[in-house]
């Protein structure tokens, strides 16, 4: 099962949380996502029964319920909010130490929702759950792995057990699809190696004492066991680890943290960068390290150009608790992130986001038909070019007039240049809007982002002299500029 080497998106250390269980009479649902493997305590009991390291519901009397007309396919379930949204490649339903009290079957559903959505809304009709693991038989005291083929990204999972029983641990391995705007957007500086943003440790020379993925987990290490540590090298050479960054970027700052490593930190370290994972160039020359120290490198970094991979070399061996790679995404990376976002959204969510970018119904449906995109902007431009005058007019009608106050946050931000305009300028804009609509039959469309009220007014006045057929194309070009900007704002 190749997915087992991917990051566990449900992990509590990544920020995962068990929000709800139908029944946890014997053992709490929060145990499902504990980092440590389940343990057994032979003679440990609580006032409700045998102490178990997992989630365990009480017994359901299925035959008795069937006699009363209750469907026999009864189940308990737990709702888990993932620590990071992503595409699930496989899950593990671990029934460790549940031998006579494990569920007969399980299934898993997923949904995409706001991280702040409450349980009541998640359980309500407004939330669409998609089955990603159909009902499967379970074995007791076993790690039960199930691959997932659904291409969509999810924020929450629902683990169902039939009819009842106990599960020790639940893992959801996959690829992070970040909600970039919640992290400040791709235009700002980010930790491109961070696991919660999609960074991934691909390979390493050794991880005898500490797993490789510890290196890019959130926060500072809690103990020496919470880092990446190799065994003592007795021969020639050095140890290394390769990290694929969350997105291609220009690296500005590196942090190497040896927290808790006092007698076993590397003597020196160097870092190389690569755009393709094959050819590496020096980023940080071999540098002396200190015990239990947060090392930050800025001026020491060499120019390496855009990078998608970094290789940390430690000499000759030892432990590093965290690696942070701060940088800014390239323009190419931003479009790739946009494409991945729209390709992994549920159809209704993708349609809603596209509609917010452009009010033409035919454009939205053409975009939906083109999914999955190879490149979103190219597909969007082709779809827009194929439309006619009525489709363009429909898109125009979704905008407020220039200078008009609107509750639409996106439109208000685009027209922020008019917010501080004088009363005279606003009156002039209102007059121009009326003249324009009388002449052409639709509202004046200007890509207002970055323009002052005076600049917008001058442009609009100039366009009043255009022939109607020429102005329609000018307005269509302005609408395309707005659509393109709004698409890119989906990733910040």
The answer to whether 18 and 122 have CB atoms below 8 angstroms apart is no
- Could you tell me the CA-to-CA distances from 95 to 12, 168, 413 in Å, in that order? 18, 5, 52
Quote the pLDDT of residue 449.
87
Q: Long-range contacts: 217-225, Cβ < 8 Å, 24+?
A: 217/13, 217/14, 217/322, 218/13, 218/14, 218/15, 218/194, 220/257, 220/259, 220/294, 220/321, 220/322, 221/257, 221/259, 221/260, 221/321, 221/322, 223/260, 224/260, 224/261, 224/264, 224/319, 224/321
Q: What residues in the chain have per-residue pLDDT under 70?
A: 1, 62-73, 406-407, 412-413, 416-417, 419-420
Sign of torsion over alpha carbons 181, 185, 189, 191: positive
The answer to whether 159 and 137 have CB atoms below 8 angstroms apart is no
DSSP state of 149: -
Cβ-proximal residues to 5 (8 Å cutoff; 6+ apart), any chain = 173
By DSSP bridging, strand 307-315 and strand 239-257 are: antiparallel
* CA dihedral of residues 215, 209, 241, 36 (deg, nearest 10): -40
Tokens of 49: 């029964």
Quote the pLDDT of residue 2.
86
Q: What angle do CA 346, 329, 114 make, to 5 degrees?
A: 30
The answer to whether 173 and 9 have CB atoms below 8 angstroms apart is yes
Tokens of 104: 């007969």
| CA 255 to mean position of chain CA atoms | 23
Model-level pTM? 0.90
Quote the pLDDT of residue 62.
64
How far apart are the C-alpha atoms of 482 and 396, rounded to whole Å? 11
The answer to whether 294 and 279 have CB atoms below 8 angstroms apart is no
DSSP 20-33: EES--SSB-GGGGG
The answer to whether 89 and 150 have CB atoms below 8 angstroms apart is no
Quote the pLDDT of residue 73.
66
How far apart are the C-alpha atoms of 421 and 266, rounded to whole Å? 60
Quote the pLDDT of residue 451.
86
How far apart are the C-alpha atoms of 123 and 111, rounded to whole Å? 11
Quote the pLDDT of residue 222.
95
Among 483, 266, 300, 315, smallest CA distance to 391 is for 483
Q: What are phi and psi of 114, to 5 degrees?
A: -65, 140
Tokens of 253: 């700052």
Among 98, 123, 104, 103, smallest CA distance to 113 is for 123
The secondary structure of 158-206, three-state, reads EEEEECCCEECEEEEEEEECCCHHHHCCCCCCEECCCHHHCCEEEEECC
Domains of the chain listed by start with CATH number: 2-176 (2.60.120.260), 183-329 (2.60.120.260), 333-489 (1.10.3330.10)
3-state DSSP percent of the chain in helix, strand and coil, to 5:
30, 30, 40
How far apart are the C-alpha atoms of 108 and 13, rounded to whole Å? 22
How far apart are the C-alpha atoms of 243 and 200, rounded to whole Å? 6
List residues bridging with 143 in a β-sheet: 94
Write the pLDDT tens digit of every residue in 298-342.
Answer: 999 999 999 999 999 999 999 999 999 999 999 999 999 999 999
Among 147, 266, 171, 157, smallest CA distance to 215 is for 266
Write the pLDDT tens digit of every residue in 460-484.
Answer: 899 999 999 999 999 999 999 999 9
Sign of torsion over alpha carbons 365, 369, 371, 376: negative
List residues bridging with 169 in a β-sheet: 94
């Amino acid at each position: 099962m190749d997915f087992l080497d991917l990051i566990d998106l449900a992990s509590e250390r990544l920020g995962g949380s068990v929000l709800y269980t139908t029944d946890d009479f014997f053992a709490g649902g929060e145990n499902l996502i504990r980092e440590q493997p389940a343990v057994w305590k032979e003679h440990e009991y609580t006032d409700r029964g045998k102490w178990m390291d997992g989630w365990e519901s009480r017994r359901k009397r299925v035959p008795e319920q069937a006699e009363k007309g209750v469907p026999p396919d009864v189940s308990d379930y737990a709702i888990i909010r993932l620590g990071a949204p992503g595409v699930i490649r496989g899950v593990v339903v671990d029934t460790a130490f549940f031998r006579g009290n494990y569920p007969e079957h399980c299934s898993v559903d997923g949904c995409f929702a706001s991280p702040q959505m409450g349980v009541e809304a998640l359980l309500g009709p407004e939330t669409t759950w998609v089955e990603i693991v159909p009902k499967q038989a379970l074995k007791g005291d076993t790690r039960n792995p199930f691959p997932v083929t659904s291409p969509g990204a999810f924020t929450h999972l629902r683990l169902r057990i039939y009819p009842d029983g106990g599960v020790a641990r639940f893992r959801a391995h996959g690829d992070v699809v970040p909600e970039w705007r919640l992290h400040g957007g791709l235009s700002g500086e980010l930790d491109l190696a961070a696991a919660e943003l999609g960074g991934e440790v691909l390979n390493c020379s050794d991880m005898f004492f500490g797993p490789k993925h510890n290196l890019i987990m959130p926060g500072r290490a809690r103990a020496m066991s919470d880092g990446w540590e190799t065994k003592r090298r007795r021969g020639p050479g050095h140890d290394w680890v390769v990290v694929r960054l969350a997105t291609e970027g220009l690296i500005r700052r590196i942090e190497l943290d040896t927290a808790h490593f006092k007698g076993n930190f590397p003597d020196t370290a160097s870092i190389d960068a690569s755009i393709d994972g094959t050819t590496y160039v020096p980023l940080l020359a071999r540098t002396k390290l200190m015990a239990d120290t947060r090392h930050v490198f800025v001026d020491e970094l060499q120019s390496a150009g855009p990078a998608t991979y970094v290789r940390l070399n430690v000499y000759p061996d030892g432990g590093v608790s965290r690696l942070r790679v701060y940088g800014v995404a390239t323009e190419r990376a931003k479009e790739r992130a946009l494409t991945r976002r729209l390709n992994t959204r549920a159809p209704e969510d993708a349609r809603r986001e596209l509609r917010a970018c452009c009010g033409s119904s035919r454009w939205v449906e053409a975009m939906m038909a083109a999914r999955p995109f190879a490149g979103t902007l190219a597909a969007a431009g082709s779809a827009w070019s194929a439309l006619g005058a009525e489709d363009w007019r429909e898109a125009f009608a979704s905008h407020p007039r220039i200078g008009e106050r609107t509750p639409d946050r996106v439109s208000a931000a685009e027209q922020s240049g008019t917010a501080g305009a004088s009363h005279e300028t606003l009156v002039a804009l209102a007059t121009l809007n009326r003249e324009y609509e009388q002449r052409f039959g639709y509202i004046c469309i200007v890509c207002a982002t970055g323009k002052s009220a005076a600049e917008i007014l001058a442009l609009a006045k100039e366009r009043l002299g255009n022939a109607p057929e020429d102005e329609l194309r000018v307005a269509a070009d302005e609408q395309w500029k707005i659509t393109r900007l709004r698409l890119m704002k989906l990733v910040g």
